[in-house]
Chains A and B, each alone.
Chain A
Amino acid sequence: MNECYQPIKGKIERIIDETPNIKTFVIRPQTPIKFLAGQFIELTLPGVGEAPFTPSSSPHVEDTLEVTIMRAGVVTNLLHATTVGATVGIRGPFGKSYPMDKFFGKEIQLIGGGVGMAPLRSLLLALMAEVNKFKRVVLKYGAKTPADIVYKGQFKEWRKMKGLEISSCVDSAKLCDNWDDKVGVVTCLLEDSVKEKEDKSSTIAVVCGPPIMMKFATLKLLEQNHKPENIYLSMEKNMSCGLGKCGHCAVGQYFVCKDGPVFTYAQLKDHPELWT
């Protein structure tokens, strides 16, 4: 019998405070879990509930797995209250990953907002493992304030990496923050690409963040002549089973959990409930 509804056990090995409301949990599953960047898991807090998260760690690491979680409600609040050593349950991985083979030889732009950086970190680590295979890798990340930026320590290391360009922006910064990058909503990250006046027809753009950010980023990308089939979105819908059975995640004919969560804008653009 396939045990698709039964979580396997995992232990929380380390908890990293990222921002006032985001933590990264390092989890060691009882048996290693192999996943691809962009796929997601269902994480159970025993006796509380289950919620979907995208691993933020490298897909090349199998014996532990990291999830970066923002406090947003019942399950996530109580996850934040757990301590090292706590038991959690894991089902998955589920869904379609980013299609790496379609990215080879191209310029890749990763555009993240807030906790939407989680799947992008996993993808970034996968891309950096084969960095020579891409024309250029650019990471554009936005958060509310400098304090809300995730993976602060790692950004410093990434800025030193060869083959990776990073720009970041915050909605607002105080003088004491010592912020020396851009200030403005996330689309301001995309402004400089206009100035470059480059041909964007083969550039891959991968967007992940709150729905409103994804909407405006996508509109901006289209304005800059990015092709709908080269814009990748990670959709967030209510999910329960992860297997295309329980119905919750349906957007038109798609079940986000099995046909996504990674979609191209071309696949979804005609659906009236896309941004809701």
Chain B
Amino acid sequence: MSSKNKFISRKDLTEFLEALSVENNIFHLTDLLEYVKFEKEVDSRPAIDAIRSTIPLKAFFVNHGEKLEHSGDSREKANSCEGAVTKAYGHQTANIIFGVKACDLKAKIIMDEIYLKGVCSDPFYEFNNDNTIIFSSDCPYPSDTCFCNVVGGKPYAESKDYLFDLNFSAMEKGCMVDIGTEKGDKIIASNARFFRDATSQETALREQIRKNAVVKLEDINSAYAGLKNLKLESVLKEKFDSLAWKEFSQTCVQCGGCNNACPSCYCFYLDENIEDKASDELAPKTRLWDACHYTSYGRVAGGANSRPHLYERFRNRYECKFNYRKENFGIYACTGCGRCVSVCPGKIDIRQVLVKLAGEK
């Protein structure tokens, strides 16, 4: 595998994507923070230096409303799920997702732990994973809601930390490209005409852009800098019984938006297909995303509930992210993407909750 950094010019990048789009579906980030399908001759403008997409990366792997049909042409079945960001991706070789951010790559470590490991791998997730190519990209312009630096992350991905096939660092005249996997290496090799080795000036310039982004993040999060030196798992353990949880959750309307927007929230439930009632055949289950803020989430027999109160469900998300999953997998499940901050109708900011909680006596 080539360890050298590559460079691709702006013009060549478009041609490179055109070449790849013959055999693959490319979904690229736009400045509206959406993933849009790249179409030749359509004026689609990748904005890979924007911040994370509104919809988390997990939507490409775990589809809300997906029929879990094991038999038949599994390939096509797994692709033809309504409600997925991707819709049907037909008979193409792979989905290439262009503009994945470091925060989502970190969250994917949690998703992989849950879905690929354990008792068995989830065959639908595994299928999507095997057929997805990840082109990540740096964040030179973090926004007010970004706080990856507070929870141990960086606004760019390096192959020693995260799994990407290729990483793109956008610069004025083009992109510097890092190779993360054999797959990525092969893509470069078979499209060698678009790439050259990066010069030392380009490498230095990229370092400068990355440093500036980190400085900007430090600035945005100066009020929360204290969190960096804390073992948040201990804070969450010690303050489990804090009365402040009631206060923190006062404006929560239990919409589940934070759970759905979170790149590492993996929870779902298996729904039964009602139209199959009274049939002798057993229909496949349907997978629906679920959220621990919902009352139904913890229901057990006869209307009992393991978390009957709103503040308990609200607390559970924090415990899950910083305490429980840390204990399981050694990393926080919160990666600082800030989507829950943007999405919350109750104007609840996870950073403020953590700072207040840590300050509780």
Contact = CB atoms under 8 A, between A and B. Distances in A.
A135 B117 CA distance: 40
Given A44-B272, A70-B301, A243 B279 contact: no
Interface in B114-168: 114-115, 118-123, 127
Interface residues of B, number: 57
Contacts of A76: 301
Nearest to A4: B120
Interface stretch (B22-30, B45-53, B292-300): B292-300
A7 B271 CA distance: 13
Contact of A72 (B266, B270, B302, B325): B302
Given A72-B301, A243-B120, A258-B119, A248 B279 contact: no
Contacts of B284: 5-6
B327 A253 contact: yes
A276 B114 contact: no
Contact of B301 (A46, A49, A236, A245): A236
Interface in B278-311: 278-285, 287, 290, 292, 297-308
B40 to A, nearest CB: 34
Contacts of A244: 114, 118-119
Interface string A161-198: 00000000000000000000000000000000000000
A1 B123 contact: yes
B301 A248 contact: no
Contacts of B277: 46-48
A2 to B, nearest CB: 5
Given A258-B119, A272-B240, A3 B70 contact: yes
A224 B292 CA distance: 38
Nearest to B287: A5
A237 interface: yes
B324 A253 contact: yes
Interface in A1-30: 1-9
Nearest to A8: B282
A157 B153 CA distance: 64
B282 A46 contact: yes
A87 interface: yes
Contacts of B282: 6-9, 44, 46, 87, 89
Nearest to B241: A272
Contacts of B320: 250
B306 A273 contact: yes
Chain A binding surface SS class: loop
Contacts of A252: 319, 323-324, 327
A5 B118 contact: no
A111 interface: no
A219 interface: no
A221 B8 CA distance: 70
A253 B268 contact: no
A47 B118 CA distance: 29
Contacts of B266: 245-247
B74 interface: yes
Contacts of B123: 1-4
A73 B302 CA distance: 6
A145 interface: no
A236 B300 CA distance: 8
A200 B115 CA distance: 42
Given A1-B70, A44-B282, A47-B277, A238 B300 contact: yes
Contacts of B312: 273
B33 to A, nearest CB: 26
B150 to A, nearest CB: 23
Contacts of B290: 240, 246-248
B292 A50 contact: no
Nearest to A212: B304
Given A5-B284, A9-B282, A47-B278, A248 B118 contact: no
B316 to A, nearest CB: 9
A241 interface: yes
Given A4-B123, A70-B301, A248-B290, A243 B281 contact: no
A89 B282 CA distance: 7
B182 interface: no
A73 B270 contact: no
Nearest to A88: B282
Given A46-B276, A73-B301, A2 B267 contact: no
A8 B71 CA distance: 13
A245 B324 contact: no
Contacts of A72: 301-302
Contacts of A94: 119
Given A46-B277, A243-B119, A246-B269, 5 more contacts: A2-B121, A47-B276, A50-B272, A252-B323, A253-B324
Across the A-B interface, the 4 shortest Cβ-Cβ residue pairs: A47-B277, A247-B267, A72-B301, A253-B327
Interface of A: 1-9, 44, 46-50, 70, 72-73, 76, 87, 89, 94, 211, 236-238, 240-241, 243-248, 250, 252-253, 258, 272-273, 276
Interface of B: 68, 70-71, 74, 114-115, 118-123, 127, 240-241, 266-270, 272-285, 287, 290, 292, 297-308, 312, 319-320, 323-325, 327-328
